[in-house]
């Protein structure tokens, strides 16, 4: 059984790693919990064991087979030393995703790319993962010419601090007190913020460019036309996406629905007569990507629309990384 390290073990994604390793009965000989100096010494219960959090250093990975990095600045500092120590790194940060030497993997989409890793495998952006799982069966069925995606991203995408800020603002509003914004640039309670991460080339944000460039890399389609608008919404957990797709070949909506229903990791929840479609509240704490509102785009000869929801902490981060580790085994 492999020795496994979790870097960022006390954060939201790190805690989800612990939960998912247990749920999926992932075989672990030694589990080493790593975090910042501030968190070192904390004790975490896992599968009846009391594990003490250690400070992450370049020497933390001796004897480790698989290192799960929860993301953030720790990846740039410690991922390479972990590889040099003999560990295979599965990284949740954006640091290595577009590196041509590092596979960018969604197990339901391109599991074969794990085979060419050189000690490091990147986990895609959470919104990209959710979209890619929904796009894969359509690409196989009819080809894809163009994708237009608008996201509705939960505050937990900004970490535990995002959740706490939304809860604090709702509480302050209910008491008639001033609302304080520190995590987000503006009030998020009862509001939408059409900017996630910093602005970059062409007026697109870094989050939007992630969806464009990562999707192309995952599907090995460097010229795929993708455009994105990413929006932070006052939802605690699970990202939603409105995806408009222009296919290469004309197919029926029934064929699209059947392809999605048979796809790995996808649940079709699409019954307008019963007013049923995916919503963040219902899709939280689940690993599948939920697809509904499947319909033809009548403005385009080969167009269709999807409404997609997925838990970005699980499938969009921790579960996807553990699935990659399962491929390694």
CATH 3.40.50.720 domain span(s) along the chain:
4-124+317-328
Task: At 27, give phi and psi (nearest 5°).
Answer: -70, 125
Q: How far apart are CA 70 and CA 113, in angstroms?
A: 21
CA neighbor of 322 nearest in space, from 72, 78, 123 = 123
Residue 152 · residue 239 · CB < 8 Å: yes
Low-confidence stretches of the chain (pLDDT beneath 70)? none
The SS3 of residue 258 is helix
Whether 239 is a known active-site residue: answer yes
* Predicted pLDDT of residue 314: 95
Exactly one of 117, 220, 239, 283 is catalytic; name it: 239
* Predicted pLDDT of residue 71: 87
* Predicted pLDDT of residue 160: 87
| Apex 312 CA angle, 102 and 201, nearest 5 | 60
Whether 220 is a known active-site residue: answer no
With 0.85 as the threshold, say if the pTM is over it: yes
Q: How far apart are CA 280 and CA 311, in angstroms?
A: 8
Q: How far apart are CA 210 and CA 93, in angstroms?
A: 12
User: Which CATH code for domain 128-312?
Assistant: 3.30.360.10
Q: How far apart are CA 283 and CA 285, in angstroms?
A: 7
* Predicted pLDDT of residue 12: 87
Exactly one of 126, 220, 283, 300 is catalytic; name it: 126
* 4-124+317-328 CATH fold: Rossmann fold (3.40.50)
Dig out the tokens for 232 from the structure. Answer: 């932070």
Q: How far apart are CA 322 and CA 329, in angstroms?
A: 11
């Amino acid at each position: 059984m492999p020795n496994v390290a979790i870097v960022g073990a006390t954060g939201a994604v790190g805690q989800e790693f612990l939960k998912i390793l247990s749920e999926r009965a992932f075989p672990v000989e030694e589990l080493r919990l790593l975090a910042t100096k501030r968190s070192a010494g904390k004790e975490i219960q896992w599968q009846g064991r009391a594990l003490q959090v250690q400070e992450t250093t370049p020497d933390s990975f001796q004897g480790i087979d698989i290192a799960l990095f929860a993301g953030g600045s720790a990846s740039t500092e410690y991922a390479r030393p972990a590889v040099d120590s003999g560990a295979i790194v599965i990284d949740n940060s954006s640091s290595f995703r577009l590196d041509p030497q590092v596979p960018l993997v969604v197990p339901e989409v391109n599991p074969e790319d794990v085979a060419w890793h050189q000690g490091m495998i990147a986990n895609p952006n959470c919104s990209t993962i959710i979209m890619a799982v929904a796009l894969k069966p359509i690409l196989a069925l009819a080809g894809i010419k163009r994708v237009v995606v608008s996201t509705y991203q939960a505050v937990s995408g900004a970490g535990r601090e995002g959740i706490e800020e939304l809860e604090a603002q709702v509480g302050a509003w209910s008491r008639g007190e001033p609302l304080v914004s520190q995590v987000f640039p503006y009030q998020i309670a009862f509001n939408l913020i059409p900017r996630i991460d910093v602005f970059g080339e062409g007026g697109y944000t870094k989050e939007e460019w992630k969806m464009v460039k990562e999707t192309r890399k995952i599907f090995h389609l460097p010229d795929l036309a993708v455009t994105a608008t990413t929006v932070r919404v006052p939802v605690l957990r699970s990202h939603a996406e409105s995806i408009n797709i222009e296919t290469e070949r004309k197919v029926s909506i029934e064929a699209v629905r059947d392809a999605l229903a048979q796809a790995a990791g996808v649940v079709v929840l699409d019954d307008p007569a019963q007013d049923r479609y995916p919503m963040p509240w219902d899709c939280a704490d689940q690993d599948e990507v939920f697809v509904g509102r499947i319909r033809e785009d009548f403005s385009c000869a080969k167009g269709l629309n999807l409404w997609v929801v997925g838990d970005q902490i699980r499938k969009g981060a921790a579960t996807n990384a553990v699935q990659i580790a399962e491929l390694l085994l």
